Amino acid sequence: MSEAIPAEPAVSGASGGGAARRPVIIAVDGRSGSGKTSLALELASLLREHRKVSVFHLEDVYPGWNGLSAGVDRYLQTVLNPLHRGVDAQWTSWDWSAHFDGEARQTTASDVVIVEGVGAAQAPARPMLDAVIWVEAAEALRKERALARDGETYAPYWDLWAAQEAELLAADHPAEHADLRLDSPVLPSDVLQALGLLPQLKNLLAPELQREHARATLAAPVPFTGDPAGLFEALFGHSENAVWLDSSDAQQRGERSRFSIMADDGGDFGQIAWHRDGMTRHSFRGITVEVPGPFFRWLDAQWPGTSAPIAGGLPFSLGWIGYLGYELKRETGGSRQSPDTPDAGLLHAGRAVVVDHQEQLAWALSLADDGWPETVTRAAAKHAPGTAARPDPTTVSVRDDRSAYKTKIGLAQAQIFEGNSYEICLTTCLAFRTDADPLGLYRTLRQANPAPFAAFLAFGGLSILSTSPERLLRMSPGGALTAEPIKGTRRRDPDPGKDAELRSELAASVKDRAENLMIVDLMRNDLSHFALPGSVRVSRLCAIESYATVHQMVSTVEARLRPGTSRSEAIAAAFPAGSMTGAPKISTMRILDQLEAAPRGAYSGAIGYFSRDGGSDLSVLIRTLVLDHGQATLGVGGAITADSAPEEEWQEVRAKAFGVLDALGLAFPDD
C-alpha cells in the first residue's frame, strides 16, 4: 500500500449535484493479497464493453497502517453513501508517503461502480450494495502477492494489518453474506458469467446473457456400435459430477428408446447447481454463487429456451440436466419437508454425448471448439467394457413392515371415506449400507431391468440409479406436451402361460383401470393450466406395457403449450407426478406427509433435461436406488383406493421392490 492506485478518471454521468438514477454497485471484498484489486480492474474492463464503469479502491482512504476500521468508516460516509444516492462521491485520499491526508478526488456515479478492498462489504455497507463478491486465497499466497506488489514497504506491517483484518472479520464476515465466493485465482470472464446468474443483475448484464444464449451448439456425429456403458465410463467415469439418461432397452426401438444422453460439468461452460430450502448454489471453476428464491423461478431464469435446434433431430442441444426431488412439492402446493439430500441437483452441460441407437451414432455436442469430437471419437473406438457390481451381503430394513403398512392403508382409506381424497399413493422405504461402486451397481440394474427412462446420476457422494419406465412430461421445443402416467402393476412370471394370465388380469382389472383413470384426469387438469384451449387429449388409455420384472398399465395425455407461457411454470404445474401423489393432488400430498411421516427425497421426483432449445424430457424417479455416501434407499409404494385390499397392496410393494433387490442379490425383509 505504499503507492496509491490512481483514481478512475471522471466520465460523463452524474454530476456532483445529483443523478437521474443510482449506479449498480458491486463490492469486491477479501483479505489483503487475495487478488481483489486485479479482479476489480479486469472485471471493470469487461463490463465497459456495454456500459460506463467507475472503480474505487478502499486503500486510497485507509488512514495509515493502523487505520483499517477508520478507513472503512471514511468509505461508508464519503464514498458509498453518496454513490448509493446517485451522487458523485467527493473524498480525500490518504498520502501513504507523507502519512497524512492527500488530495481531493472524485468517483463518478457511473452505470456501474466497483468498490474494492478490505471492508468493502461490511454490514453497514451491504444495504447499499447490489452484489457482493468475496475473494478467498490461502494465507501464504496472499502474503506473497501483497509483498510482491508493495515490496518491503508492506513487510513490517503485515502482522499489524492482518490483526486488524481478523478483528474486523470477527465482528462481521462478509463471506457469509456474499452473492459470489471465489477461490482465487479465477478467470474474470467466469466471474462476469457468475454475476449474470444473479436476478438483481439480469437487466444490467442483458447483452452478455443474450450473447451466451445465442452461442451455437457444435454437433459432430461419430460412428458408434459399441457398449454405451463403456462409452460413459470412458468419457465421464472419473468426473465428480455426471449424468447418463440411459435408454437401456434400446433394442425395443421406438421414440422413447432411441436416444441416450451423457454429460458432466466439465469444460469451459460446465456448472453444478444445488437447490435446498429456497436457495440455489452454483459451483464452477472456483466460484460459488448463491441465488435465493424458489427453484422453479430460478429454472425460469436459467432456461430461456431460445437457442435454435441442432442437426440430427437430437432431443438435447446442451443445457441443464439432473434431478428434481419430490420435496419441491413445497413450491407447487405441498407442505415443507426437509430431506437429507438437496431438493434438486442439476449440472449445466457445456459438452455432452447423445447416442442415437437407431442410427448408430454418438453425437459430440459442445459450446466450445475445444477438440471434444476428437475426444469422443477416441473413446468410441477404444472404450473397454466396465464391470457390473453387487453389494456385499447385507441386511435390508424397511421403514414400515407388513403390519405398519397395512395400518397406514386403513388410515388412508379412512381419509378417502371422509371425502378428503379419491386415491392416495402411499409409499415406504427400504434401506441398507453398501460400499460398492455406484456405477458398477447401476450396470447390474440396467442389465437386469432395461427401461426406456433408466438413468445414472453421480453428484459427489450422491448417486441416483434409476430403472424407471415412466415419463412424467416431455416438452418439445415447439411446445408439444406429452405425459405418460403409470398406474397398475403385476409381477412377471417365468412361466409364459402364467405371465400371460397376469398381463390379461391387469388389462381386465376394474380397480387398476379406475386408479389409472383418476391419474389421467389429474394430468389432464395439470396440463390444462398452461395448454392451448381444446388441445388436451388422451391419445392412449390403459394400455399394457411389459418390462423385465413387471407389467404396467400406461396412458398417454397430450397437449400444446400456450404461446408466451413460462415453460418452467408448466413443468411446475405437473410436478410432482400425480401417479405418485394421488388425487386431488394438493390435499392428498398433505395426507401423505402425515401418513408417511418422512421426506421422500429424490424418490418419486423426476430426472431429465432442460435443453437450450426449449425442449425437456423428465421421467418419474421410481424403481430407483438412491445412494447418499454409502446409505442406500429404495422407495416403493402403491395407490390406495376405497376398494384396496391391504394384503394385495402389500404384495404390490414387494413386487415393485423385487426388480431392484433381486438384481443386486438382496432380499425383501422378512415379514
**Residues designated catalytic:** 470, 487
In whole angstroms, give the CA distance from residue 5 to residue 114: 14
Of 330, 349, 347, 346, residue with least CA distance to 338: 330
Q: Is the dihedral of CA 571, 576, 580, 586 positive or negative?
A: negative
- Characterise 2 by phi-psi region: left (phi > 0), alpha (psi -120 to 50), beta (else): alpha
274, 281 contact by CB (below 8 A): yes
What φ, ψ does residue 379 adopt, rounded to 5°?
-65, -40
Residues 6+ apart with CB under 8 A from 296: 328, 331, 332, 568, 569, 571, 572
- Characterise 151 by phi-psi region: left (phi > 0), alpha (psi -120 to 50), beta (else): left
627, 442 contact by CB (below 8 A): no
In whole angstroms, give the CA distance from residue 567 to residue 479: 9
Please, how many CA atoms are within 13 Å of residue 232, restricted to the half-sphere of its CB? 28
618, 471 contact by CB (below 8 A): yes
Residue 25 belongs to what H/E stretch? strand 24-30
CB atoms within 10 A of CB 563: 7
256, 247 contact by CB (below 8 A): yes
Cell triple for 502: 397376469
In whole angstroms, give the CA distance from residue 588 to residue 641: 12
User: CA-CA-CA-CA torsion for 165, 169, 175, 177, nearest 10 degrees?
Assistant: -140
Instruction: Give, as one character, the DSSP assignment of residue 22.
Output: P
In whole angstroms, give the CA distance from residue 315 to residue 462: 26
346, 245 contact by CB (below 8 A): no
